[in-house]
């Protein structure tokens, strides 16, 4: 295909009452096929960054589903729950050394979180620069989707929560029990009725995750190119159901400990 014709450039707008002060730049030639490595090509465009966010977000969602199912083992009793926690460290043995699988998982999740946030921050900065002067009348949201409007600030709350959560139940730094205590004991001590405010904090954070996913899951399909008018209802329903199930599943454990059902 020859590119000569594109020099013509298609002006499609009438220039009326006011003459334009900015000259129209010479038409750009479409890029020669880029030889840059795939990650760099992806990261060059706003759309590529969004795709990175969708894929890493998807990895995190899969993790959350597994994590939630694991948490629910608390209801099967101390032995089941602690056994499950130990099993996580022995996956793949004897082919894999002790804790190798878990370490790989942790590394993947860490990289996913970093890439996800990196894209989010970079796109948020681009958006801020794209509208330097704000509207005097706050634009009315035509689409009344609360979840959509709390993605960025909600994301920051989720991040703070994740840090607290790791210090709490993974490392035991802010847990009444030490890091080396049995998982079941740590959970029960953490959400003791006297520490109801910790439970409230967890519930708020998990609801934020739910809101994040209500928009995020649907958005990820749209970002990866599967969004079509005829699928939107189904995709929204899917996102809402997954988000709701995750919220219920995650909230169940701390709440049940605090009201004394799990001791």
Partner 1 sequence: MKLTLKIWRQRNAADKGRMASYELDDVSPDMSFLEMLDVLNERLIIEGDDPVAFDHDCREGICGMCSLVIDGTAHGPQRATTTCQLHMRHFKDGDVITIEPWRASAFPVIKDLVVDRSAFDRIIQAGGYVSAPTGSAPEAASIPIPQADAHDAFDAATCIGCGACVAACPNASAMLFTAAKITHLGLMPQGQPERYGRVTAMVDQMDAEGFGGCTNTGECTSVCPKGIPLETISRLNADLLKATAKG
Q: Is 119 helix (H, G, I), strand (E, B) or coil?
A: helix
Contacting residue, 125, 152, 228, 231, with ligand HEM by CB under 6 A: 152
Q: Which of 108, 91, 111, 109 is nearest to 99 (CA)?
A: 91
Angle among Cα 185, 186, 192 to the nearest 5 degrees reads: 85
217 interacts with, out of partner 1, ligand HEM, none, CB within 5 to 8 A per kind: ligand HEM
State which residue, 16 or 194, has the beta carbon closest to partner 1. Answer: 16
Does residue 244 interact with ligand HEM by CB under 6 A?
Answer: no
Does residue 151 interact with ligand HEM by CB under 6 A?
Answer: yes
Does residue 158 interact with ligand HEM by CB under 6 A?
Answer: yes
Q: How many residues bind partner 1 (CB under 8 A)?
A: 75
State which residue, 107 or 127, has the beta carbon closest to partner 1. Answer: 127
Peptide bond into 198 cis (omega under 30): no
Helix H or strand E encompassing 243: helix 229-258
Does residue 178 interact with partner 1 by CB under 8 A?
Answer: no
Does residue 95 interact with partner 1 by CB under 8 A?
Answer: no
Does residue 216 interact with ligand HEM by CB under 6 A?
Answer: yes
Stretch that binds ligand HEM, among 33-41, 92-100, 115-123, 230-238 (CB under 6 A): 115-123
Residue with tokens 């999740």: 109
206: Cα within 13 Å, side-chain hemisphere = 23
Angle among Cα 94, 98, 103 to the nearest 5 degrees reads: 125
Contacting residue, 58, 70, 172, 176, with ligand HEM by CB under 6 A: 58
Q: Which of 154, 79, 96 is nearest to 120 (CA)?
A: 154
Contacting residue, 217, 243, 252, 257, with ligand HEM by CB under 6 A: 217
Q: Where are the alpha helices (DSSP H) in 150-195?
A: 151-165, 183-190
Helix axes 183-190, 78-90, angle to 10 degrees: 120
Q: Which of 138, 143, 144, 120 is nearest to 46 (CA)?
A: 120
Asked whether the beta carbons of 208 and 158 are under 8 A apart, the reply is: yes
Contacting residue, 195, 222, 255, 256, with partner 1 by CB under 8 A: 222
Residues 105-134 that bind partner 1 (CB under 8 A): 123, 126-127, 129-134
Angle among Cα 152, 158, 162 to the nearest 5 degrees reads: 145
State which residue, 246 or 257, has the beta carbon closest to ligand HEM. Answer: 246
Closest separation in Å from C-beta 190 to ligand HEM: 19
48: Cα within 13 Å, side-chain hemisphere = 8
Contacting residue, 68, 120, 147, 262, with ligand HEM by CB under 6 A: 120
Stretch that binds ligand HEM, among 23-31, 144-152, 176-184, 228-236 (CB under 6 A): 144-152
Task: Tell me which residues touch ligand HEM (CB under 6 A).
Answer: 50, 53-54, 57-58, 60-61, 64, 116-117, 120, 148, 151-152, 155-156, 158-159, 209, 212, 216-217, 219-220, 223
């Amino acid at each position: 295909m020859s590119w000569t014709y594109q020099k013509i450039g298609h002006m499609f707008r009438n220039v009326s009452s006011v003459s334009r002060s900015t000259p129209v730049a010479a038409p750009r030639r479409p890029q020669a096929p880029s030889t840059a490595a795939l990650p760099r090509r992806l990261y060059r465009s706003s759309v590529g960054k969004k795709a990175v966010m969708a894929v890493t977000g998807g990895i995190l969602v899969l993790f959350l589903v597994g994590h939630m199912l694991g948490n629910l083992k608390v209801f099967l009793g101390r032995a089941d729950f602690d056994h499950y926690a130990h099993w996580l460290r022995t996956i793949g043995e004897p082919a894999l050394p002790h804790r190798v699988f878990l370490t790989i998982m942790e590394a993947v999740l860490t990289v996913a979180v970093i890439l996800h946030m990196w894209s989010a921050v970079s796109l948020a900065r681009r958006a801020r620069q794209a509208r330097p002067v704000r509207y005097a009348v706050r634009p009315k949201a035509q689409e009344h989707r609360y979840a959509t409007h709390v993605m960025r600030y909600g994301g920051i709350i989720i991040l703070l929560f994740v840090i607290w959560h790791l210090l709490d139940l993974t490392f035991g730094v802010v847990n009444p029990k030490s890091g080396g205590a049995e998982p079941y004991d740590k959970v029960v001590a953490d959400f003791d009725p006297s520490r109801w405010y910790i439970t409230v904090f967890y519930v708020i954070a998990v609801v934020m995750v739910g809101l994040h996913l209500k928009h995020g899951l649907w958005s990820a399909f749209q970002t990866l190119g599967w969004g079509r008018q005829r699928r939107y209802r189904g995709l929204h329903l899917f996102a809402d159901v997954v988000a709701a199930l995750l919220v219920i599943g995650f909230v169940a454990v701390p709440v049940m400990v605090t009201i004394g059902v799990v001791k």
